[in-house]
Amino acid sequence: MLKTFCFFCSCMLFSIAVFANDVAYFIQKGDSAYLAFNHAAARDFFQHALETDSLNYEAAWKLSRAFVDYGENLPEKDDRRVSYENARKYADYAIAIAPDSAKGYLFLSIALGRVALDAGAKERVQLSKDIRAAVDRSLELDPNEDIAWHVLGRWNRKIATLSWVERNFANIFLGGVPKDASVERSVECFKKAIELAPNTLVHWLELGISYEKLKMTDEARIAFEKVLQLPVSDSDDAGHKAHAKKLLSEL
């Protein structure tokens, strides 16, 4: 009987070890695909990791991120929407697994922001409240997350420069335009993002755009030139460099 019990325990321990190794393998492969800008492969590997361990927080938030990255490269708006809604779903799932960890809230704010980019004025305004709540919670949990400061910077600039139609929707759905939103505040947020991650060129690009909105041409030029100087580290960076070059030529 004792031998049988020991054999059973050994089998159980072996199964647990294999299970853990499978999850780690899928996450490692997903990370490698992410660094290689292969977003479809990254999505699939993180999906496998989460299917293997349904309570794996890292797999959940990384799957959300992968759906955002994958969606950004889709040409059709409806297809992008599906991918961003999946990103939203897995961000919510990550939050359910670990409600006191920052990444789920971060990628929820990003997924909602991507949905908003393709949405009509009414839905954009409605989503803005949820975006702000998610990014605020992310920063509350991790104030050193540069991407969250970036999201907050874009939120401030967008809200501060709403169109007349969007302002009317804000009056209906938000009780008015949030008083604390400003382009000046967006500059502060992008500067904080740069302080935390100085080589992330999209932070410099968005800082330059905010400076341009404030008619601070010299500062905008410095920021756009920095974008052109920095090395590519993200799949979108080639596009960011092209955008910065265009904006520089228009100053």
Write out the chain's pLDDT in tens, 251 residues: 544 434 334 444 344 444 456 899 999 999 999 999 999 999 999 999 999 999 999 999 999 999 999 999 999 999 999 999 999 999 999 999 999 999 999 999 999 999 999 988 888 888 999 999 999 999 999 999 999 999 999 999 999 998 888 877 777 667 666 778 899 999 999 999 999 999 999 999 999 999 999 999 999 999 999 999 999 999 899 999 999 999 999 99
Q: For domain 20-118, which CATH number applies: 1.10.3720.10, 3.40.50.620, 1.10.1370.30, 1.25.40.10?
A: 1.25.40.10
What are the contacts of 25-31 at 24+ separation with CB within 8 A?
26/52, 26/59, 27/56, 27/58, 27/59, 27/62, 30/59, 30/62, 30/66, 31/62
User: Is the full-model pTM beyond 0.85?
Assistant: yes
Q: Which two tokens stand for residue 151?
A: 């999201």
HEC-encoded secondary structure of 58-109: HHHHHHHHHHHHHHHCCCCHHHHHHHHHHHHHHHHHHHHHCCCCHHHHHHHH
Q: What type of residue sits at position 175?
A: G
> Within 10 Å of residue 101's Cβ, how many Cβ atoms?
17
